[in-house]
Structure 1
């Protein structure tokens, strides 16, 4: 396995690409995958690492958005629930079902309203495969054990969990499999529009080296930077606006036992989730705070930490305190500005704006991680009248993402098979590798411990690090510990420093890098 080219040596300036995609979040990678699979020549550029910002700062849920029913967003919820079913099938390693417990608070929404909303939630999606809602007696149900005694009634419903940043990377890998080029640490400096195409100046953010490419059409999937890109670097006016809303999360030592998650109502009508996280922790979020500062530098505030602690302390018997927090993260959601006065009420729907007054440009406003695949499909369909190569049927709804070439019900059997392949791995490590990589875990794990190489902490091996460098655009210890995995929660400072040294040595030692990660043969393990 070899590593990835820098932009100066891989971007082909000799002929125009059909599509230049700006932004390596979930929407950009989803669009690149769909378009390349229909036969378009695609180049995607990302100024940082894949999923560096919004797409790795979600609540990690593939869900319809139960609370959006309160704002009458029935089409959005229906589309999201249908996408939930599709994504569970095409990425069963990184997306899996989860049951959510909703305690009823007499001081907030009435029980009949919750029951009605959950009935709609179960029936808006045709052919739903997940278990439906059921009522709970919280005094006798195991899920009621962590809750305070005043919560007597509740409901349990289904949604899905996702490894969000891995979903982005797997889309990028599959985009490469079908012919796209992905260049990280590559910034669009400017693009000049002509009647037949775009001339774009790109900059390697590590070396400062610039190159120029031609593209027939451009996709602006820059997320929080979508408006800035249009105005300052593309000189394209837009009638649409983006509204930045910060969402923050805290991670604390595990508060409750069991595989279920909890959804709590608050007096301000917002909801907060408490979710099992990385086996040893509980993830709590999110907030909705208007944001007008730099979207590239976002941190949780002390007030948000207090808010999240108070939110769960209304429900759990075990108190969560700010000093219990072991990790926090925050991201900016680039929501379509629908002029709502309340940040929580701003639509999570998306708007795709096509300007074809000269060379076409499509800009993505809003969206949510659950509907990324449908958003990408719609985006490609909107571009198809201007790019004939895209006039082919959609294909992404049934094609597995890398490593996910098995049925969701077969995960446990696949895990058992993998443990037999690498019996030296602990049960915990085997589970993590299969959950992160699916069938591609066989590329990483050797049958004997000697083949795994240097260890960085208890579970991260040089073998896995090499795979991430060679196939998943990993360039720093942070890429590996916080976006390709969440092992940063477990690794010591000394191991982190050793990992960074190892990564730098690998990158410096690769004399003939390969610009197309993701093309390792799909593993079909019987």
Structure 2
């Protein structure tokens, strides 16, 4: 029996790795992907969760990146209207601020007209003395600019790309570490180890894609022996989540005296998300956590705008992640490019594609550009297809969320409205796969807390590779914000008691 040879082996289960695997599998390539931890356990779940053009990138003349990002907003919204939705951002202004009004107006004019906006409403000017958006802000701010961008459940976007890649034939291996990768007789020989079962594996591929995010240089150094590899600049971004600071569906864009910006965003109905910070990071990315300095910075920066100060005791959760920015030599972390760079190494034998940088908004285009390089290296298969596709559960119109809520409520009238809305936000049309033939709440099994039931947990284990309580509570959902310590422990015990073979994904 001959050995199986994949066309492509992808290292990394963040948004870039999963996006490339999905695109490649959909074109007919044979694909394998290994992620050493859970999907989106690094950078891809630690973002500010925006699908945005990057208004501040205009200051650094990154017009190509901004245009591509602006054009992608509605493409991604149409692909996944359950986990992506439009958001209006309010940018308060006062005389003597960091940026003059003419500069903001020019930036927003470009933002409106650089490309791609069809469904999103245009920029507006607000009188904060009469507009509800001014209510939570200090009286210093009488005027604001308002513009459109989008918001995404980032970790769900990653796992849905992985799910779709697997549905299209890719071999998807979470919790699988790449121990070594070497070229041999024109192929890549990749040795792996499953961190749950301890099982070793040997995989063969015509091409290797290194999409390891913050670990991309580590992979180059350890797997390929290039000890001097240094292509990415690691920048730490941290966020705090506090009890809801304002009513209404709009978000805020705050400009700080140090020329940095932060966002305050409605989060999970009952909370406000505030971030992000920008500071260089030199340690191991796995050890990242918010610092005292960053916590103080975010509280103080938001308190400059809100009437009611943001205090440490308001914080209910924090998260921190490393952005692996391509090292372009910029002097400040916030000035380093957010653009992506793809470098093809033909070498002797199988080609290698290293992926540096990138952001949530441009992941699909990054994957298309990666496939161009893959096609040039090992031969083209298929055509670009993802722009007109849907991620699992997203097969309804971009403005059809309320209609889907109505359909699900009609089919399962025993569910509370809040529960229905949350299910559609997470799973879209796949919500029915969770609810099945249930006709009463008891049919959903054990209630772990809030509206998290056994039926949903089972779905996440069977279809989305969830293995631990953290996978469920902080990446597949954000129910960790609602469950207390005892309820979280109950879920941990439930999942620990399940057969290991079921939990191996």
Shift of 1:391: 3.3
1:256 is paired with a residue whose SS is coil
Partner SS for 1:32? helix
Match of 1:80 in 2: 69
Q: CA deviation at 1:237?
A: 7.4
Which residue does 1:17 correspond to in 2? 6
Q: 2:239 matched to which residue of 1?
A: 249
Residue matched to 1:415: 405
Select which of 159, 168, 173 maps to 2:158. Answer: 168
Equivalent residue, structure 1, for 2:149:
159
Separation of aligned partners in 2, 1:145 and 1:440? 38
Contact 1:122-1:128 within 8 A present in 2 as well: no
Does 2:323 correspond to 1:365? Answer: no
Of residues 313, 316, 319, the one that matches 1:323 is 313
Match of 1:334 in 2: 324
2:353 is equivalent to residue 381 of structure 1: no
Find 2:454's aligned residue among 451, 462, 469.
462
**Residue pairs, 1:507-518, within 5 angstroms:** 507-508=499-500, 510=502
How far the C-alpha of 1:502 sits from its partner, in A, is 1.3
Q: CA deviation at 1:121?
A: 0.4
List aligned pairs for 1:69-218, cutoff 5 A. Answer: 69-106=58-95, 107-218=97-208
| Cα distance in 2 for residues equivalent to 1:55 and 1:143 | 30
Structure 2 CA distance for aligned equivalents of residues 503 and 62 of structure 1? 33
CA contact (8 A) 1:381 1:391 kept: no
Unaligned runs of 5+ in 2: none
Q: Which residue of 1 aligns with 2:298?
A: 308
Q: Which residue of 2 aligns with 1:491?
A: 483
Once residues 369 and 509 of structure 1 are traced to their aligned partners in structure 2, the CA distance between those partners, rounded to angstroms, is 33
In structure 2, what is the Cα distance between the partners aligned to 1:506 and 1:134? 53
Q: Distance in 2 between matches of 1:196 and 1:398?
A: 35
How far apart are 1:239 and its partner, in Å?
7.0
Q: What is the CA deviation profile of residues 229-275 of structure 1, one whole-angstrom value per residue up to 9, with x for unaligned ones? A: 01111235787610000000000000000000000000011110000
Distance of aligned partners of 1:230 and 1:514 in 2 relative to their CA distance in 1, 3 Å threshold: closer
Distance 1:79 1:447 in 2: 46
CA contact (8 A) 2:467 2:504 kept: no
CA distance in 1, matches of 2:133, 2:114: 26
1:296 aligns to what SS in structure 2? Answer: helix
Shift of 1:444: 0.8
Aligned residues: 501
**1:425-447 CA distances to partner (integer Å, 9 max, x unpaired)?**
21111111100000000111233
TM-score by length of 2: 0.97
Q: What per-residue deviation string (whole Å, max 9, x for no partner) do you get for residues 306-339 of structure 1?
A: 1111111111111111121110000000000000
3-state SS, counterpart of residue 474 of structure 1 = coil
1:29 alignment partner in structure 2? 18
**What secondary structure sits across from 2:337 in the alignment?**
coil
Q: Map Cα deviations across residues 37-79 of structure 1 (whole Å, 9 max, x no partner).
A: 1111101000000000100000011001000000000110000
Paired residue for 2:334? 344
The SS at the match of 2:137 is: coil
Tell me, in whole angstroms, the C-alpha distance in 1 between the residues paired with 2:118 and 2:219. 40
User: Cα deviation per residue 1:201-245 (whole Å; 9 max; x = unaligned)?
Assistant: 101112332111111100000000000101111235787610000
Q: CA deviation at 1:127?
A: 4.5
- CA shift at 1:500, angstroms? 1.3
Query: What is the CA–CA distance in structure 2 between the aligned matches of 1:89 and 1:304, rounded to whole Å?
Result: 35
Return the offset for 1:297: 1.5
Bigger shift: residues 99-108 or 23-32: 99-108
- Name the SS for the 2:169 alignment partner: coil
**What is the DSSP-based 3-state SS (H/G/I as helix, E as strand, rest coil) of the residue aligned with 1:397?**
helix
Q: Which whole-Å CA distance do the structure 2 matches of 1:504 and 1:13 have between them?
A: 38
More RCO (CA 8 Å, sep 6+): 1
Q: Give 1:519's aligned residue.
A: none
